[in-house]
């Protein structure tokens, strides 16, 4: 298993190992050497979100890649799925400098293969091997604030916008009043422009990035401001992205959240109507609410669960030929259109579904009655198998016994942060909250 690559690339505090100028340059050189041996010439597309650290991390990557003989073309500020799309236009690989929904102090490196899918585990192992014997004493080069040394090709973003416009064929938003929260991130210069092009009257928040305000009290992790905007302006709906726009959550006309589970339900019904829902199955993770499973079953559809992480969703889609999958967080993949989770594309597909189903959010999801679910994140010092922590194992067994088959418990570690995630779901809300809090406290006492 890779050490530094998590479920969504490398992610850390910018300026701290492995995201120091020297370490990033080494990673770029290792990746460049790998690609230069496969492609003649090796051409890499690079994009970033709006974090202030993105510039020096991109510069370090370019230095490393160029030293290995690769040609690097920068698309500038662009969404993660935007880079995944452009990579498929003839590049050897795509790289995104982004930490997705994390605060601005973090950053990350996501790498796509030539087909727009995540880099294979074997390639991740080969690239990160340069860091296994890393000498931190040489890590004294300060990050630079100078501009990038290569010109940014803004036309590449235009290619991506045209791809989204093509996916939006037959969708008319004329007369629709829509609120958009771009999380002060990469969707800022793309999503509002596209929605206006489709005829919508657009009201924006989270569209003034300054390098430090990405995801700060806005975006898909903080729907309060968008909900208030929708209600205050009496809008038809709201759309919220995270920092790199690989996920999306929605807000209906009442200001209520429409999460990834409800998005999957809407899209499943739409694809079934078109005869395009392969095997009548939707892929979701262990985090998805049991209410989604029951709602799908009412339409004769099945739910195939996988581990948490979009890479596991995509693996199941590819392995079994399914046509729709995603996460409760709003990371949705429709492989017939794109192998990458794409928040803007997902929003377009949901709006098309509602238009062609001739319905609204409430009617499209009213049969989904969510079970009470509580998620608690616990900061941890170490990621130790929960079965090797006797007190945690005992607390887990006790929780499962108290639920008596009417709920479930999921303990897992974040793939990108030093966090343990505790999820409890059941029919009795007070019991769910009690068990989740007790489990979280036990973990905190053991390894917090």
Distance of CA 216 to the CA centre of its chain: 17
CA distance 366 to 115: 38
C-beta separation of 142 from 53 below 8 A: no
- 100 classed as catalytic: yes
Of the candidates 311, 262, 394, 258, which has an alpha carbon nearest to the alpha carbon of residue 111? 311
Rg of the Cα trace of the chain? 22
**Edge-to-edge strand ranges of the sheet holding 373-379:** 373-379, 419-426, 407-413
Residue 324 burial class via C-beta count within 10 angstroms: exposed 0-12, middle 13-18, buried 19 and up: buried
CA distance 120 to 131: 18
Catalytic residue among 53, 74, 92, 100: 100
Distance separating the N- and C-terminal Cα atoms of the chain: 24
C-beta separation of 389 from 407 below 8 A: no
Cβ neighbours, 10 Å, residue 166: 9
Annotated catalytic residues are: 100
């Amino acid at each position: 298993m890779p050490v530094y690559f998590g479920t969504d690339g490398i992610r850390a505090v910018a300026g701290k190992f492995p995201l120091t100028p020297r370490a990033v340059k080494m990673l770029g050189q290792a990746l460049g050497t790998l690609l230069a041996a496969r492609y003649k010439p090796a051409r890499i597309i690079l994009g970033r979100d709006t974090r202030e650290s993105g510039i020096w991390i991109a510069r370090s990557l370019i230095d490393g890649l160029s030293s290995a003989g690769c040609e690097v073309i920068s698309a500038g500020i662009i969404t993660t799925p935007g880079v995944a799309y452009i990579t498929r236009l003839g590049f050897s690989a795509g790289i995104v400098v982004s930490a997705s929904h994390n605060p601005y102090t973090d950053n990350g490196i996501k790498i796509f293969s030539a087909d727009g899918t995540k880099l294979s585990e074997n390639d991740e192992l080969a690239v990160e091997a340069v860091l296994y014997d890393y000498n931190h004493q040489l890590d004294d080069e300060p990050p630079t604030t100078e501009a990038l040394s290569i010109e940014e090709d803004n036309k590449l973003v235009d290619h991506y916008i045209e791809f989204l416009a093509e996916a939006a064929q037959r969708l008319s938003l004329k007369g629709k009043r829509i609120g958009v929260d771009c999380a002060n991130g990469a969707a800022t210069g793309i999503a509002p422009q596209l929605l206006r092009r489709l005829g919508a009257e657009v009201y924006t928040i989270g569209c003034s990035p300054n390098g430090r305000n990405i995801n700060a009290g806005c975006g898909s992790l903080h729907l309060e401001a968008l909900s208030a905007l929708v209600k205050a302006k009496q809008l038809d709906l709201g759309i919220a992205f995270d920092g790199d726009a690989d996920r999306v959550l929605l807000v209906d006309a009442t200001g209520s959240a429409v999460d990834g589970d409800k998005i999957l339900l809407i899209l499943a019904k739409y694809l079934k109507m078109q005869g395009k829902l392969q095997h009548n199955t939707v892929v979701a993770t262990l985090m998805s609410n049991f209410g989604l499973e029951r709602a799908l079953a009412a339409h004769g559809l099945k739910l195939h669960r996988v581990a948490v992480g979009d890479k596991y969703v995509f693996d199941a889609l590819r392995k079994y030929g399914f046509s729709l999958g995603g996460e409760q967080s709003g990371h949705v993949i429709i492989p017939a259109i794109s192998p990458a989770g794409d928040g803007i594309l997902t929003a377009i597909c949901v709006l098309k579904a509602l238009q062609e189903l001739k319905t609204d959010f409430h009617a499209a999801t009213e049969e989904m009655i969510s079970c009470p679910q509580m998620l608690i994140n616990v900061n941890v010092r170490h990621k130790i198998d929960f079965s090797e922590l006797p007190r945690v194992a005992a607390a887990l067994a006790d929780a499962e016994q108290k639920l008596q088959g009417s709920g479930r418990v999921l303990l897992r570690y974040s793939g990108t942060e030093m966090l343990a995630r505790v999820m409890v779901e059941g029919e009795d809300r007070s019991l769910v909250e009690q068990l989740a809090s007790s489990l979280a406290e036990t973990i905190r006492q053991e390894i917090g």
